[in-house]
Structure formats: C-alpha cells, structure tokens
Structure 1
Amino acid sequence: MMTVFDCWLNTIASRLVLVVAGIFLQQGIAASQPRILYFGDSISEGWIDAELRPKEAFPALTDSILISTGIQFRSENLGVGGETTLDGLRRIDEQVLSEDPDLVVIAFGSNDYYILGEGQNPRVPLDDFTRHLELMIDKCAGIGINVIVLGIPPLIAERFYIYTPAERFAPFGGVAALHQSYRDAMRNLCREKNVPFVAADFAGMEESLLGFDGVHPLPGGHRAIADSLAAAITATLDAAPSEIPVPPDVHVYPSPFAPSSQEYLVIRVEVKSRSRIRAAIHDSRGRRVRSLDYPVSDSGLHFVLWDGTDDLGVPVASGTYFLQLDVDGAVTSRSIPVVH
C-alpha cells in the first residue's frame, strides 16, 4: 500500500524526468539550428562613438531581423577592436574553424589601411590584405563553412583628419583613395572566388550614419548594414551547400620561403574524414625545430601556417628544412627551402 510520502516521491520523480527530457530536447533542437559567427574588428564588436554598445551593432541587429522572420539559429559575436586581417588570420583556427559553424561573416579592413606614422606604409599593405582575406575564405570554405564577406563601411575624410594627420596618407593619394582601394580589393576578390559580398554602402547618407571619427558607423549605419546582411544570410542558409574543391593532398607555398618578407608559409592539406593534423619542421640534420598541432573539426581543406620560427620563437637560419605531416597516422613529407 502506497503512503502519501510514496505518492509524493513518485510525483517528484515524474516531474524530474519531464524536466530532464525537456532539457535534452532543447539541447537537441539548439544543436540542429544553424550557427552564425560574426568575425571582425571594432565595428563588429560594437564600438560606437568611442563607447562599446554591442546591442546597437550590426551583429545584434542582424540577429533581430533574422528572428523576426522566423529563422531559428545560434550566433556569436567574435569582433575584436583594433584588429587587422592578419590578426584575424592568427585566431581563425581556434575561434572559428574549431567551432564548425554553418556560416561566418568576415568583417575586417578598417584597421588594415590605417597608417601609424608619417613615412610608414599601411598597417597591412594592400596585397597582404587581399592575401589574408583570401586565406581566411579558403580556410572556411575548405571544411564546408559558408562565408559572407562584409565590405568596409564608407569614410568621411574630413572627420578622419581631425584625429589623424593628413600628411601620413598623402603619398597614397589621401585617405579616401587608400580606403577605396581596400574596398575595391574586397569586392574584386569575392567576385573572383564567387563568395557573397555585402557592400556596407550608405547611399549618400554618410554624414548622418558615421560617427565623429568618420570611420565607425552610428546606430543608423549599423541598421543599414544589418538590413543588407540579414538578406544575404537568409539567402546563403537557404542555398544548397556548394561542393568543396579537391586539391592535391599536400601543397606547401611559397617556395622558397623568405620569412623576412613573407609572413608565413602555408601548408595546405586535404583530409577525408574527421582528423587531427600534426606537423613538424625538421632541419637538415633531422632535428625537430617546430611542432604545429592543428585541431581539425571536419573533412575538407585545411591550412596550417608556419612563421619561420622555432618552438622558442627564434627565426630559423637559411637552409633546407623538411615538413613531416601526420594525419591520423598517415605520414607524408615535403622539403622547405628557407632563405633570408
């Protein structure tokens, strides 16, 4: 005969089972929803008139638009103020590829063309900027991650020059011309690679949509970006996944590798299934000088970078080095001539 206490225990147990089942159901639904990452600089992060206001920035506004249309998804804002495409390239493996999102919005550029001092070049020269952006696209596309590139917003040179001397940019035709060359490079690259490109254009309303520095959009500018970006994201998520190109198994470039003028050596490798790539650089005497452990989240193309230094961060000397690449026990090697 069941007591009142026994009935109470059964009721609690039943409710607990329902709660746990509900938690697992919610987790399963969330796992099946597409995941979007916003990967960029201070504009993505949400800096507006020198204040961090992420709720008014385009990632949050884009999310609101998507939610209003009934799209179920998860998202994360990975914007970091002050970063260039080179900084993005340095953290994309850990913060983007390892997360295996369905779509990433790449939004760099506003810091790349900036010149820190008179007589200097842009922080990231135009050719390097294009190369960094292309490699980020290739890294994502190589493992089946959809990519949308967001263009650099417009610029008001008069406001920009209040805080940055115009003389720095004179050798490049002024900041407006330099800024436009980087915008054009992004658009042209995306056209060549058939990657969706969202131009952050303000249709002649720059005066009211850009902040005091002439670079960072105001909330209205972020809203204009979000309107265009939400449409592109919807179209991309609705489209059938594109076929991943099949390159040679391992390709190393540039060759020869000159660390003093080239920032990194690229090791491109294709894996057929979920794997881990372990790369080691050996000198001509067989001594290991650098270990590179690359966590792979899925099959496809992967790009491992070497900056020409050993495990202690010391640049290696000129000579012939050898790459030993281990993909789940399958080992291959390539020679790497290094010149200074």
Structure 2
Amino acid sequence: MGAMAIVQLLTACSGEPAANNSAAPTAEVRNAAAPMADGKLVLAFGDSLYAGYGVAQNESFPFRLEQALKAKGLAVQVRNAGVSGETSLGGMQRLAFTLDGLPRKPDLLLLDLGGNDMLRGLPPEDSEKNLRAILDQLRQRQIPVLLTGMMAAPNMGKDYGAKFDAIYPRLAKDYGLPLYPFFLDGVIGNPRLMQADSIHPNPAGVNIIVGKIAPVVTGLLKKS
C-alpha cells in the first residue's frame, strides 16, 4: 500500500459532508425496522466509514453487512451508528446515549474510531485513553466487540505512526477482543472500488469490505 493511499484513506474520516450524508445523526441510530425479537442485533458504531459517506444508505457498510449475514441464514439486524467526522472523544461522549436508545442490548458492536484523531494530529495517548473508556463501558454492559483498526498516515512521521498503529493490537490484546486490522484492506488505492474522490469506497468497494468482514461477524454471532 502506497503512502498516498493511506493518506487518502485517513482523509476519509475527516467528516467533510457528503451530499447524501449531510444529515448524519449525532445520537439517532439508523435502520428502519425494529430488530426481530428472537434475532441478533449488531451495532456499527464509528465514523464516516460506517456512516455510508458518499453512497446511498442501502449501499452503506452496515446495510450490506446485514444483507450478507442474512444470506448466510442469520436472523439479524445491523444498526448504523456511524457519524462522519467522529473522533474517539465524540464517540465516548455519545456511546451511552446511543446504547440507551436501542430496543435492547446489542449482541455485537463493531467499533471503528480513531482515524479523525490521527488526521488532526491528536496525541495517540489521548485516542487510546478514549477508546479504552469506550471499551470499559462496553465491558460493563457485557456487549461483545469487534474492533476494526486504522493506520497512521506516513506524513505524520515514524514516531507518531508507531505509537498510533500500536493502539489497536494493544487494545485487542488487553481486552481480549477480535481485531480486523485495517477496515479498507483490499480496497484503498483501487479506482474500480473507490469513489471519484479516491478516498471513500464505492458500492463495489463496500461489497469487498463486507465480503472480508462478514465471515468474522458470522463466527462471532454464532458464539453469542
């Protein structure tokens, strides 16, 4: 993966408004139908990469993930709690409100935060502190988590990159969590899978991501 591709990836979390995503919720969790009483409930909690930046909501990662899981025979609903521009601090501040607004406790929460922190040059120590606070809340509520990781842009420097990139593996180890190391693995840098801005995945790119992550989510849900 080239340096420019990683820089572009991290800009994806910057929160610049997309035309069809300008009303991204700060607390509301999107998806129309209430979850099935005897089915699984998954919450995708993160930034623009979960929110569906630049694509229709029925082309977003949470929507397509739900379709893929149902195709595997799972009774499941994936709720979209992604917010463009979200930082780890913002996520920490809205987590309880978001969870309390659900009809019941999720069977699994997918967590994707930290890219905006890096983009803004915030200290990795602060990002990790906020993510730990989020994971502490989820542990207290006994909500299983799949952590999807991020990478630091090369222009942040080797020292910053080493500190930032170590956050997600360390959290996964300390909290005993499954880790999907890089959300846009296999997509970033491929113009056929990216939107015209070369930053966000297009629907085809979303499908590639879902194809990689769905088996992981399936395995976790079958254990819950």
TM-score, normalised to structure 2, is 0.72
Following the alignment from structure 2 to structure 1, what is the Cα–Cα distance between the partners of residues 152 and 202? 12
Q: Give the one of 128, 144, 147 matched to 1:146.
A: 144
Larger mean Cα displacement after TM superposition, 82-91 or 29-38: 29-38
1:239-278 → structure 2 map (5 Å cutoff): 239-240=223-224
Is 1:106 aligned with 2:89?
no
Q: Per the alignment, do residues 217 and 110 of structure 1 end up closer, same or farther by CA in structure 2, a change over 3 Å counting? A: farther
Secondary structure of 1:207's counterpart equals coil
1:254-333 → structure 2 map (5 Å cutoff): none
Query: What's the CA shift for 1:150?
Result: 1.3
Unaligned runs of 5+ in 1: 1-26, 116-121, 158-168, 241-340
Following the alignment from structure 1 to structure 2, what is the Cα–Cα distance between the partners of residues 97 and 191? 27
Query: What's the CA shift for 1:202?
Result: 2.5
Secondary structure of 2:164's counterpart equals helix
Following the alignment from structure 2 to structure 1, what is the Cα–Cα distance between the partners of residues 150 and 130? 15
Which amino acid is the alignment partner of residue 223 of structure 1?
N
Query: What's the CA shift for 1:213?
Result: 4.9
What's 2:72 paired with? 69
- Backbone CA RMSD of aligned residues: 2.8
- Please give the per-residue CA displacement for 1:110-160, whole angstroms capped at 9, x wherever unaligned: 211113xxxxxx1x32011111112211211212111111122797x7xxx
What's 1:192 paired with? 174
Following the alignment from structure 1 to structure 2, what is the Cα–Cα distance between the partners of residues 101 and 226? 19
Structure holding more strand per residue: 1
| Equivalent residues of 1:58, 1:226 under 8 A apart | yes
| Equivalent residues of 1:154, 1:201 under 8 A apart | no
Following the alignment from structure 2 to structure 1, what is the Cα–Cα distance between the partners of residues 163 and 194? 20
1:202-241 → structure 2 map (5 Å cutoff): 202-203=185-186, 206-208=189-191, 209-211=193-195, 213=197, 215-240=199-224
1:104-183 → structure 2 map (5 Å cutoff): 104-115=109-120, 122=121, 124-152=122-150, 169=155, 172-173=156-157, 178=160, 181-183=163-165
Query: What's the CA shift for 1:186?
Result: 1.2
Query: What's the CA shift for 1:39?
Result: 0.7
| Equivalent residues of 1:45, 1:52 under 8 A apart | no
Following the alignment from structure 1 to structure 2, what is the Cα–Cα distance between the partners of residues 64 and 154? 31
Secondary structure of 2:42's counterpart equals strand
Q: Per the alignment, do residues 183 and 135 of structure 1 end up closer, same or farther by CA in structure 2, a change over 3 Å counting? A: same
Q: Per the alignment, do residues 219 and 93 of structure 1 end up closer, same or farther by CA in structure 2, a change over 3 Å counting? A: same
Percent of aligned pairs with the same amino acid:
25
Greater RCO, 1 or 2 (C-alpha within 8 Å, sep 6+): 2
- Please give the per-residue CA displacement for 1:64-98, whole angstroms capped at 9, x wherever unaligned: 11010110012210111111111000000010255
What's 1:79 paired with? 82
Which amino acid is the alignment partner of residue 213 of structure 2?
L
Following the alignment from structure 1 to structure 2, what is the Cα–Cα distance between the partners of residues 148 and 104? 6
What's 1:95 paired with? 98
Which of the two has higher C-alpha Rg? 1
TM-score, normalised to structure 1, is 0.49
Following the alignment from structure 1 to structure 2, what is the Cα–Cα distance between the partners of residues 216 and 144? 33
What's 2:39 paired with? 33
Which amino acid is the alignment partner of residue 173 of structure 1?
G
Which amino acid is the alignment partner of residue 70 of structure 1?
G
Secondary structure of 1:96's counterpart equals helix
| Equivalent residues of 2:187, 2:194 under 8 A apart | no
Which amino acid is the alignment partner of residue 149 of structure 2?
G
Which amino acid is the alignment partner of residue 186 of structure 1?
Y
- Please give the per-residue CA displacement for 1:192-241, whole angstroms capped at 9, x wherever unaligned: 2210111225348623344455543333332232122211211111225x
